């Protein structure tokens, strides 16, 4: 969001760039098709993997800025109920390859499914109550990887 002055007051307002408006027009048929394939909007915490393919770095944007518009459009088209449900962007990346067509690939996965598939062997980290007093002092002052 950009800060703009409206009638003498500084306010924050969403200002879409011309590139985003053009992308919206191109993406609309794909979003409508995706909406028809989703029986009902996602209403659970999600992992959203966005892969942005570019020919070059000429108009490279921040990855976080690229997320925002897409998440808003997923909500607008009823694919997700609220973009606040996107809790992670694991697998998202910008790919620069002049041989590949410019495109965006979106994969939405319920977060619990993504975690069980991609993090099956993560063990519970012991809380401070589980540690002996000596280890507890060490845990309080050191990184977990140093334990």
The pLDDT tens digits of the residues spanning 113-146 come to 888 887 766 554 554 444 444 444 444 444 444 4
pLDDT for 137 equals 43
Q: Would you say the pTM of this structure is higher than 0.85?
A: no
**Radius of gyration (C-alpha) of the chain in whole angstroms:** 21
Question: If you average pLDDT over every residue of the chain, what do you get?
Answer: 78
Q: Which two tokens stand for residue 36?
A: 């028809």
CATH topology of domain 40-146: 60s Ribosomal Protein L30; Chain: A; (3.30.1330)
CA atoms within 13 A on the CB side of 70: 20
CA end-to-end span of the chain: 42
Tell me the pLDDT tens digit for each residue of 87-108.
999 999 999 999 999 899 999 9
Q: Which two tokens stand for residue 83?
A: 């973009």
Q: Where are the alpha helices (DSSP H) in 38-84?
A: 63-76
Q: Which two tokens stand for residue 126?
A: 């012991």
């Amino acid at each position: 969001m950009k800060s703009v002055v409206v009638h003498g007051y500084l306010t924050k307002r969403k200002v879409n760039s011309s590139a985003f408006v053009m992308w919206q027009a191109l993406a609309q048929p794909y979003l409508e098709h995706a909406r028809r394939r989703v029986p009902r909007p996602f209403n659970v915490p999600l992992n959203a993997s966005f892969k942005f393919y570019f020919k070059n770095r000429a108009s490279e944007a921040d990855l976080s800025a690229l997320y925002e518009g897409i998440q808003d459009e997923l909500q607008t088209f009823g694919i997700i109920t609220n973009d606040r449900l996107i809790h992670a962007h694991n697998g998202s990346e910008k790919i620069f390859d002049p041989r590949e067509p410019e495109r965006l690939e979106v994969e939405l996965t319920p977060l619990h499914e993504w975690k069980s598939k991609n993090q099956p062997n993560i063990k519970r980290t012991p809380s401070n109550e589980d540690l002996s007093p000596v280890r507890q002092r060490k845990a309080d002052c050191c990184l977990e990887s140093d334990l």
